[in-house]
Homo-oligomer: A and B are copies of this chain.
Amino acid sequence: MIKVGIVGGTGYTGVELLRLLAAHPQVQLTAITSRKEDGMPVADMFPSLRGHVDLAFATPEKAKLAECDVVFFATPHGVAMAQARELLAAGVKVIDLAADFRLKDPAEFEKWYAMPHSCTDLLEEAVYGLPEVNREAIRKARLIGLPGCYPTSMQLGFAPLLAQGKPLVNEASLIADCKSGVSGAGRKAEVHTLLAEAADNFKAYGVKGHRHLPETTQGLQAIAGGRKVGLTFVPHLVPMIRGIHSTLYATILPEARDTDFQSLYENHFKGEKFVDVMPAGSHPETRSVRASNKLRIAIHRPGGGDLLVILVVEDNLVKGAAGQGVQCMNIMFGIDETAGLMHIPVLP
């Protein structure tokens, strides 16, 4: 059994980790920390876990994280970077769900997250936890920076186009029009995500620049073998709880007009257990992946023209966060990559 600790289990990615890990056949939930809720049974805060999780929150001191095999950080940005070094030194693997180990350039981190990076020495070692792109590196990793929810959908959605030896689309002007459920904003007391504000409503936000942009650009360029990629990313808030729908636009280059994009995508993701390339003409719904680690993609070329429209759906809390974290953990510990992750989506 893999002994797992969780730092910061009071948010949505934390409770989702608990849901997945408590039912994972090869995991023993060992510790969960919260300074504020020290002593409180986890199931008192989340009654959905009554009968499934006996653990109580504990301070980091009491939690003895150093005795775990792996520790997940489901914390605000800045927490993992302060504790990772010590855990790694104690032989504990670390998977951070926040942004601390996503960006390779600490200046970029400081620019977008408005805090200095306090653990730059680990940035090079840290592996970006997107298994469909980085599986081999993850296998050997001690430290994982998990992708953000939007970036997962954008990178996997564009990957087959960019991963070829030469450009197929105009890589300088990709567009990602993304829509997210409200849980993406976290379990924080804020006015703009109240039901009375966000329900029966729709809006864009952060058009000027969103934190997930530099991470996605970095990832897309890596997929493109280092070629420069230009991306416009427009996030929107959807009055629903879970789910991301990314509508991606790419202009086909004249020399690539004859490409069979459906086959390109099917071949690229052949054998992937968590990526489903749907039949041509499909319109994936976010609910078709609700509460599961699946990501579904459909390829369109309206009117047979030069604009590709790629539709991607994922559950932002699973494939976009906790599920991807468990997937990385499975790979890192050499067990079946799908262990504890084969939940059938909940529909309706």
| Contact surface of A with B, Cβ cutoff 8 Å | 12, 15, 19, 22-23, 46-52, 173, 175, 177, 179, 181-183, 185, 187-191, 193-205, 207-209, 230, 232-234, 236, 238-243, 245, 247, 249, 251, 276, 278, 281-292, 294, 296, 300, 302-303, 305-307, 309, 311, 313, 317, 342-348
Across-interface contacts of A232 in B (CB, < 8 A) = 249, 302-303, 305, 307, 309
User: Could you show 22 A-B contacts with beta carbons less than 8 Å apart?
Assistant: A23-B344, A48-B289, A48-B290, A50-B278, A175-B249, A175-B307, A177-B249, A179-B202, A182-B195, A189-B194, A193-B195, A195-B198, A199-B240, A200-B240, A201-B243, A202-B245, A203-B284, A204-B283, A205-B283, A230-B305, A232-B303, A249-B249
Q: A197-B348, A291-B346, A348-B196 are in contact. Are A309 and B203 (CB under 8 A)?
A: no
Minimum Cβ distance to chain B for residue A178 (Å): 10
Q: How many copies does the complex hold?
A: 4
- A49 CA to B183 CA in the complex, in Å? 24
- A289 CA to B245 CA in the complex, in Å? 24
Report whether B201 and A200 are in contact in the complex, using a CB–CB cutoff of 8 Å.
no
Residue of B nearest to A232 (CB): B307
- A175 CA to B250 CA in the complex, in Å? 11
Residue of B nearest to A49 (CB): B344
